[in-house]
Chains A and B, each alone.
Chain A
């Protein structure tokens, strides 16, 4: 019996060892390689638009709060969007000059955390009993809770059609999300902006 328990102990230890060795598939991912560019566009024909306007600051949205920021990376971000749109035949005009498109540069960070009950198979819910009234059959332990937290942080560019307003509402014709590591570094802001425009060949004025 003593020998059997020794073998069992060895096996139990090895389970722990194996679980600890679970690999993280992206631990060797280069920060630049972690960047993801997501663009959505409407089926509209972009050659119908000629002008655009863009604010001088970036809208920073953090959970429920928002502010306008002009840090170095924000200025590079705005400038690079202007460069890309100009290269595609659009002309920047002032907001007051009735542009065809309104560009919103933004940085969005969103943190959510909370507790979720974890299913406990041994828990006997007193409410949904087995129907043996009065017999306190195994009340067990309450479900236990897990804490979770996740964080999203990304650049966001939105282009809305302000030429064809319906009920005073502008339709979003294009938007882009830039996610991943290093996207706020002043040295890489330009590259990531180029990335979202590079995958949107249809976005051109002529």
Chain B
């Protein structure tokens, strides 16, 4: 009985001691495990990581391009790869392909003493390579992460006008740039895969005998994959 009482006292003493040093057990735990596994942040928040995005969408021509090829086909797609910094910036390269096409019904074009009757097909395909930067408005692991984007580079402009099959074209390289607003949606919390939507304004000072200053607005949606 005396021994039991002694043990109870000892236990009480140890308990009060533990209560006075609340970090005692944790400290032991920390030292024992040697690697902290609690309260660890996601690698996407700590390291620069990579992301590839593929999007497809519709483009609406503006200005002279609208008059020239505003009708039949107007779409664009793009692929981009970027480095995402843990804070708010990312930088990368983006390929765009935008395509516009229109076809006019058969009519007669007269110039001087010549008359040409044909069906005219108008087309402009712009293949662009842009270096871009993005500013993101939320943290890297936010389920919805809006951003603003600015890209500058060059476009291969393939401006072909056909009279029947007779081709009159200009194929040249031109400066181009784009500004955009978009948002990225993660499918799972802290995951690798998600959706990306973007609205863009594209401009190039390209000139041919049919169009001057290629401009369009586009909306696109796609998927992204990120890894580190």
In the complex the two chains form, is B162's CB within 8 Å of A35's CB? no
In the complex the two chains form, is A14's CB within 8 Å of B79's CB? yes
The interface size bin for chain B is 20 to 34
Mask, A153-175, CB within 8 Å of B = 1, is 00000000000000000000000
In the complex the two chains form, is B95's CB within 8 Å of A15's CB? yes
- Which A1-56 residues have a C-beta within 8 angstroms of B? 3, 7, 10-11, 14-15, 17-19, 21-23, 25-26, 29, 33-43
Q: How far, in angstroms, from A21 to B75 measured CA to CA in the complex? A: 13
A-B CB contacts (within 8 Å), total count = 89
Q: A22-B127, A22-B158, A25-B123 are in contact. Are A36 and B93 (CB under 8 A)?
A: no
Q: Does A89 contact B (CB under 8 A)?
A: no
In the complex the two chains form, is B95's CB within 8 Å of A21's CB? no
In the complex the two chains form, is A200's CB within 8 Å of B99's CB? no
Q: How far, in angstroms, from A34 to B114 measured CA to CA in the complex? A: 19
Instruction: Give A197 Cβ to nearest chain B Cβ, in Å.
Output: 11
In the complex the two chains form, is A10's CB within 8 Å of B164's CB? no
Q: How far, in angstroms, from A105 to B93 measured CA to CA in the complex? A: 58
In the complex the two chains form, is B121's CB within 8 Å of A37's CB? no
Q: Contacts of B6 on A, CB cut-off 8 Å?
A: none
Q: Which of B108, B122, B163 contacts A199 (CB 8 A)?
A: B108
In the complex the two chains form, is A34's CB within 8 Å of B50's CB? no
Secondary structure of the B contact surface, majority rule: strand
Q: Which of B73, B116, B123, B165 contacts A34 (CB 8 A)?
A: B165
Q: Which of B50, B114, B119 contacts A7 (CB 8 A)?
A: B50
Q: Contacts of A38 on B, CB cut-off 8 Å?
A: 114-117
In the complex the two chains form, is A36's CB within 8 Å of B118's CB? yes
- Which B20-71 residues have a C-beta within 8 angstroms of A? 50, 52
Q: Contacts of B73 on A, CB cut-off 8 Å?
A: 23
Mask, B157-186, CB within 8 Å of A = 1, is 010101111100000000000000000000
Q: A7-B50, A36-B166, A180-B165 are in contact. Are A23 and B123 (CB under 8 A)?
A: yes
12 contacts between A and B (CB under 8 A): A10-B81, A14-B95, A15-B129, A19-B127, A22-B125, A26-B165, A36-B117, A36-B165, A37-B117, A37-B118, A40-B113, A41-B113
Mask, B100-132, CB within 8 Å of A = 1, is 010000101000011111110111010101000
In the complex the two chains form, is A35's CB within 8 Å of B123's CB? no
Q: How far, in angstroms, from A17 to B79 measured CA to CA in the complex? A: 10
Extra pairs beyond A26-B165, A29-B164, A179-B164 (6, CB < 8 Å): A7-B50, A23-B99, A37-B115, A40-B113, A41-B113, A43-B113
- Which B176-207 residues have a C-beta within 8 angstroms of A? none
Q: Which 10 A-B pairs have the closest CB atoms?
A: A25-B123, A36-B164, A37-B117, A36-B118, A14-B79, A34-B164, A33-B119, A180-B164, A34-B165, A39-B115
In the complex the two chains form, is B50's CB within 8 Å of A36's CB? no
Q: Contacts of B163 on A, CB cut-off 8 Å?
A: 36
Mask, A176-206, CB within 8 Å of B = 1, is 0001110000000000000110111000000
In the complex the two chains form, is B116's CB within 8 Å of A26's CB? no
Q: Which of A18, A23, A36, A196 contacts B79 (CB 8 A)?
A: A18
Q: Contacts of B162 on A, CB cut-off 8 Å?
A: 25-26, 29
In the complex the two chains form, is B165's CB within 8 Å of A29's CB? yes
Q: Does B97 contact A (CB under 8 A)?
A: yes
Q: How far, in angstroms, from A25 to B114 measured CA to CA in the complex? A: 26
